[in-house]
Amino acid sequence: MTRSELKQRFSVFGEIEECTIHFRVQGDNYGFVTYRYAEEAFAAIESGHKLRQADEQPFDLCFGGRRQFCKRSYSDLDSNREDFDPAPVKSKFDSLDFDTLLKQAQKNLRRH
């Protein structure tokens, strides 16, 4: 498959900003399609498998992951980063159990 074939095939889901194909010695070739809008990328992930033709090998569809191939900023929509460790968010209710929270809510309802 060529870059233009990949772009043409996946353009049914929306406006494509960038499209690249990468060939590897191991044969596990891959391509990247960067859509203008996130909704278009979601549509491609959801229904892109329907584009496979009968004489083609199955292919996987996923979000992001290879930032070095994108020439501009993009959103990695699957957030599959091992080094991603969000800071815990503390709430004043963290130390309260369900029963205590329920009693407080009922008490607040009686006031109004």
Domains of the chain: 1-79 (3.30.70.330)
Per mean pLDDT, which of 74-78, 82-86, 100-104 is the most reliable? 100-104
Confidence band for 11, pLDDT divided at 50, 70 and 90: very high
**Residues 6, 19: contact at Cβ < 8 Å?**
yes
Radius of gyration over every alpha carbon of the chain, rounded to an integer in angstroms: 23
CA distance 72 to 68: 9
Residues 6+ apart with CB under 8 A from 72: 17, 18
CA 54 to chain centre: 27
Q: Which of 40, 32, 35 is nearest to 66 (CA)?
A: 32
Q: Above pLDDT 70, what percent of the chain?
A: 70
Q: Which residues pair with 20 in a beta bridge?
A: 32
